[in-house]
Structures are given as C-alpha cells and as structure tokens.
A and B are shown apart, each in its own frame.
Chain A
Amino acid sequence: MASIAVTTARPKRRAKRDWRGWGFVGPFMIVFLGVLVAPVVYAIVLTLFRQQLVGGSGFVGLSNYVTLFQDSKFWESLFRVTLFLLVQVPIMLVLSLVAALALDSLRLHGSGFFRIAIFLPYAVPGVVAALIWGFIYGNQFGLTGSLNKFIGFDLFQPFSSEWILASIGNIVTWEFMGYNMLIFYAALKVVPTELYEAAEIDGAGQFRIISGIKIPALRGSIVIATIFSIIGSFQLFNEPNLLKNLAPNVISSYFTPNMYAYNLSFAGQQFNYSATVAIVMGIITAVIAYIVQLRGSRQEVR
C-alpha cells in the first residue's frame, strides 16, 4: 500500500541489487505460496466447475458467478455485514479513541490498571467470548433476564431479530475495543511533548490540542484500524455461528457471507459455489480496503 512510498524512498541506502535477500525472504515465501496462494488459485479453479451429488463434476465457465450475482441470499448477507460494519466499527473505534485519549491525558488515577483491564478481553478467544455472552444474554435466567426483571418489562431481547446485530456487535466491540485502544495509545505516546507545550503556550485548550494535534497524529493508526475492522466484519463467522444455537431462526444459515460459504460447502456439499462466494468476498474486501486506504492517504496529503 502506501508504504511503497516508504520503501522506494530509500533505495540509495540499500545494498546493491543482488539475490542475497532471498535467503531471508525465501522461507516465508515458500510457506506463503503453499498455504495461501495455492488455495486461492485452487479456489479460483473450483469456481469454474460444478460438482453434483448425482452426476459428478463438470466445467461450467463463469456460471457460478452469474448465479451468485442473482442470489438474493448472498446480497442479503453482504448487506447485513455492511450494515454491521457501518454501525459497529465507528462505535468501537470512537470508544477506543476516547479511552486512548483518556489514558494519554495523564489525568487519570491508576492509568496502568485501566490500560490492562480494558485490554484483557482481547486475550479471550472469540469462541469463549461468544459462550460467555451467550449465557449472559439469556432472556430468562441470564443477566439480561435479571436486568429486564429489574426494569419491569422486557426491554432487552438480545436474540430477537431487532436486537441480534446489536448483540453480536456488542461482543465484537467488547473483544476488540481494548486492542484498538492500545494501537491508538501507542501512536499517541510518540507525539513529541514539545508540540503540546507549544500549543499550551499559544493558549490552546485540551480540546483544541486533541483536535489539532492528537487526532491528526493518529490518522495513520485510524486508517489501519479501520481497514482491519472492515476485513474482520466481512469475515464475521465465529460469534454468529456459535450464537445460532441460541437464536436458530434469527441467525439464518446465510447470516454473513462467511457463514453462507461455510454452510454451502459443509452442509450442502456445494464446494464450487462456496468457493465463488469466497473469491467474490475477497475481491470486495480488497477493493473496499483499498478505497479506505486511498482516502486515508489523500487526506494526509491535503
């Protein structure tokens, strides 16, 4: 991505062009080709065929892609994760940002404790997180049930169709808020203190310092965190798949594109079509990540 700029900016400092570097890069690339590139190529080949339970396999050209573009289930799942992404990612990143700025403000009692406590959920495996929240979300006996009883009516229905995206979003936010907070915090720590001092001498208030110095300094981190969150949202699988037992009708077999691909191949034996979903999702993710990347750097230039 943009760091092509970084790397091409330094050719004069590098040793003369020769093959020695491959000694270091080679091992990585061999494994990389084997476990990442080969499956991608294989997946592309798969998309050109169709295998049936009865009647075997045959070359079908691009017909799987044509089917996919007319498949309302696929579009519904894509729409759902897009909606999820548009709501959950900003909320999570803003919360992470607020926490990071608070940590960096030096105006906290016990900031070290806060830092590690908020980060802890990141160490919890997604599977375990979904299990824990699944229990907590229980309408009758879980904490949600207790909360509803306290309020007096059933306000929270985590497994209803209206709430389910919010419920999953909450789990994802819980898992990754602290992680993003640390990314932002780490970037803030390297802003030269002199900048703040100069600003204060100029009479700038805390909010002015935040909007004028800290946020701009964080732009690169925010772009990266956004890209990761987009990739993560498009790949959403573990949480909805585990919660499906608790909300069997609300979480459909094509709730997210990844669940759709999984169920197509492992429940429906439609490996070729499933690979088509995977490849198309890969392309969509790459394009969107690239656009975010471009926008991020354009603002940087301006």
Chain B
Amino acid sequence: MSSIIKRKALRRVAVVAASALAVGLSLTACASGSTSTSGGSAGSAADLDAALKTGGTITYWSWTPSGEAQVAAFEKAYPNVTVNLVNAGTNKDEYTKLQNAITAGSGAPDVAQVEYYAIPQFALSDSLVDLTGYGFGDLQSQYSAGPWSSVAFGGKIYGLPQDSGPMAMFYNKKVFDQYGLTVPTTYDEYIAAAEKLHAADPTKYITSDTGDAGFATSMIWQAGGNPFTASGTDVSVNLQDTGSKKWADSWNKLVENKLLSTTPGWSDEWYKGLGDGSIATLLTGAWMPGVLESSVAAASGDWRVAPMPTYDGTPVTAENGGGGQVVLKQSKNPALAAAFLRWLNSDPESIKVFLASGGFPSTTAELSSPDFLAQAPDYFGGQKINEVLVDASKNVPTGWQYLPYQVYANSIFGDTVGQAYENNSDLNVGLQTWQKQLVDYGNQQGFTVK
C-alpha cells in the first residue's frame, strides 16, 4: 500500500516538475495506465500496462549487483509479476550461454543484460525484440545520446540503456605526490610521467595493460577513429584509420619501452596493485569508483579522478563498458518483459537502487541532478568525482559503431594485437592482423566485408 501512495506522490512531483524531467513521462505511463500521455504509440504502452496488471512470470539474466534489489522492488510494486533472476555468468560467459540458447532455439531468458558492444551481434541474428512498437521511442529523451545510440540503431530499438562508462583517468594521488608527478593532460605528458615513475621505482607502472579489446577500441574511439562500420550485412573494418593509428602510435611508446605493468586486468594481483600503488593510473569507464570502493579498500583516500589525457588538449573521451537490457525473441510474454525492462531502466525507484549499488547512470535526469553531482566520497579524498565524470559524458564523439560480431572479434584480440603487447612490438602490426582475421571471418559468415 505504502508504495502506491509513494508512487502517486512521486507522480505528482514528476508532473509538477513538468516535462523537463523526462523521467516523469515514463512514470506517468507506468502508473496511470490508460491515461498515458506519451504520444502516438499510446496503445502499445497500454499493452505493457495491461501486461503488468495481468501478471505472469519472466526470467531475467543479469550479473549486475543491483539486480536482486531491483527485482525485489519491482515485485513489490507489481505483485502479480514474478521475476526469476538468474546470474548466468559475467559478461562473455553470459553471452556464450545466451548465444547457445538462441542456437538451440530454447532456453533463453525473457530479459537479459547485454553490454553495448555485444548488442549488435544479437540484434543482427534477429534474436531481439524491436521495442519501437511498445512506445519505447518516447523514452529516448531520458538517456544521454551515447548510450541511446548503442541500443537504438538501424531504425529499431533493441533495449534500454542501464549504465554508461564515459572514460576518465583515475590516478593514485599518493604515488603522484611521492614521485613528484603532475597530473597529465595530454598523452605526451602521460608517457613522460610513465617514464619518470618507472625510472624512479622499477616496481611501479603508470598503468597496467596486457591488451584488452574493450580498452583498445575505446581508446581508438577517443582518438577519433571509426574502424568498424556496419549497415545491414555490409561491414567495413579499418583498424589503420587515422584514429586507430593515432592511438597505436602513442600507446606504442608505452608498449615498446615496457612501461606498462604486465599484470592482467581483474586478476587478484591487479587488485593488489591498485591497492599498493604499483599501478598508478587507470584509464577507464565512470563505473570504476564502485569497484575501487568495494574491492580496493586498502587504497581508500589515495585515488582521484581527472579527465582523460588527450592528444591535442581538446577535451575528448569515449565510452568504455556499460550496457543495457534487451528483450529476447524467445520470450513467450514479450509485453510483460518489455514492461519490466521499461520499469528497470526508467523508473526512479529502480534507478535509485542502481545508483546505490555504485553504478554510473545513463539517464540525463540523474547525470544532471545536483545531488548526484555534489557527492564527494571519502574514498576519493572528498573530491566531487561525479562532476568530472558527468563532464566526460558530454565529450564522447558520436558515430562510433561496433561490429555485428564484436564478441567473436574480442575473443581473438589476444591472438592478434595481444601478440604485439607480448613481444613489446608495434601495435599497428597487431591491429593489421586483427583486421585481416576479422575481414576473413566476416566474409566466411556471409557478410560483405571491406
């Protein structure tokens, strides 16, 4: 009962706060059913409300830590609906299972968490429900442009964004102070800092990178590259375009001179390195603070956030990581699945739970909320980190695309570009090998690849 009262109160607030807060739209649609105010596809949105009223059971695959609390809140708000939350594995493990279920023709969930880079792959195999028919187009204004373009492309809407990962530079201030390093703003300064730090203490490195497809593609994105384009089954791969080369040429200085820690990301040693200062910076997505706070407690107070270094001083960054949820075609109750998805990624209650778990939002309302911007966690020495991170989200170049077989592409990154890392040799050579294998694979699979 109390949640209904709260809901009504919220609705009133939302309505009063007027259409500036797009969140209000979905909430109204959510709570008031047939009196939906959202334009042309009102009837379809009503389908979702009807589905919520009728109830049923759906399965939701997710590994995000906020999943459990979100599902609990949803089931409380809609007692007729049961959501069976399944942790089917973390990122690529889940995609493998999802792909298996799709191949098998059964066993897929109704709703699944999928990162942005993998969405085109599932979209291409015609495994996802186009949500345009359910009025999801009206939700576009709630999300920042980057994440939205990752779920809506080719005239269809395949999902709703959950988090986002505009990149920033996380640095260990204690290490910087100890070795007299200044916070680099360009890659030249970054490389200089790497040399200075490693010379002063050979056990310390500016960062760790053993070759990670997600990182490399984001760095190319930041450098203005556009190596992958896809339009239907016409694909082009050019990992030697200006942006790709720009990144490779500058990152080469770290790779070839052995200035990168060889500790693989996400290993126990990597976590140790983040805690004891042997890894001094991280260039990564805005979701990182949550991970640092919960898993690198030893370095509390040491870390700070700064904008990404750039090539020419003009602020620019890229998205790294992050993803949303999609509705699978195998779903027997797509309307209910879509209704859950709509609630999950646009209802303020759900987003509140998500934020509390340390996630970085993709919704403009949260990104511009004064409360969010004012947060000054002790872990980061009281720095208002969200100001830096939100600022980054505004500097993401548009037009980036992933391949319609990016999951496979990433799986062979180590075989190709990884070899350049391993041998401390030219990344461009590795990128060329990667490109060749991607072109071959695409052609074998029936794409027209240039």
**Which A residues contact B (CB, under 8 angstroms)?**
52-55, 135, 138-142, 161, 244-254, 263, 266-271
> In the complex, are the beta carbons of A271 and B445 less than 8 A apart?
no
Size bracket, chain B contacts: 35 or more
Interface of B is mostly: helix
The verdict on A267 contacting B264 (CB below 8 Å), with A139-B269, A249-B419 known, is no
Q: What are 10 contact pairs spanning A and B, CB under 8 A?
A: A52-B445, A53-B125, A53-B405, A54-B124, A54-B445, A141-B268, A246-B264, A249-B419, A252-B418, A267-B92
Q: Quick one: closest A residue to B437, CB to CB?
A: A73
> In the complex, are the beta carbons of B272 and A249 less than 8 A apart?
no
Most buried by A among B99, B268, B415: B415
Which B residues are in CB contact (< 8 Å) with A250? 422
Determine, out of B147-155, B176-184, B406-414, the stretch whose residues face the partner at the interface: B406-414
> In the complex, are the beta carbons of B411 and A267 less than 8 A apart?
yes
Q: Quick one: closest A residue to B213, CB to CB?
A: A248
Q: Quick one: closest A residue to B261, CB to CB?
A: A140
> In the complex, are the beta carbons of B267 and A249 less than 8 A apart?
no
> In the complex, are the beta carbons of B96 and A140 less than 8 A apart?
no
Which A residues are in CB contact (< 8 Å) with B414? 244, 248-249, 251-253
Nearest-CB distance from B434 to chain A (Å)? 12
Once the chains are docked, how many angstroms separate the CA of A247 from the CA of B421? 12
Among B92, B96, B446, point to the contact of A55 (Cβ < 8 A): B446
Once the chains are docked, how many angstroms separate the CA of A161 from the CA of B421? 12
- 8 Å CB contacts to A: which residues of B253-271? 262-264, 266-269
> In the complex, are the beta carbons of B267 and A246 less than 8 A apart?
yes
Map CB proximity to A onto B82-106 as digits: 1 under 8 Å, 0 otherwise: 0000000000100010011001000
Which A residues are in CB contact (< 8 Å) with B379? none
Which B residues are in CB contact (< 8 Å) with A249? 210-211, 414, 418-419, 421-422
> In the complex, are the beta carbons of A54 and B411 less than 8 A apart?
no
Nearest-CB distance from B38 to chain A (Å)? 35
Nearest-CB distance from B333 to chain A (Å)? 27
The verdict on A54 contacting B264 (CB below 8 Å), with A140-B273, A142-B269, A249-B419 known, is no
Which A residues are in CB contact (< 8 Å) with B412? 253, 267
**Is the CB of B233 closer than 8 A to any CB of chain A?**
yes
Nearest-CB distance from B120 to chain A (Å)? 12
**Is the CB of B343 closer than 8 A to any CB of chain A?**
no
> In the complex, are the beta carbons of B264 and A252 less than 8 A apart?
no
**Is the CB of B63 closer than 8 A to any CB of chain A?**
no
Which B residues are in CB contact (< 8 Å) with A245? 264, 266-267
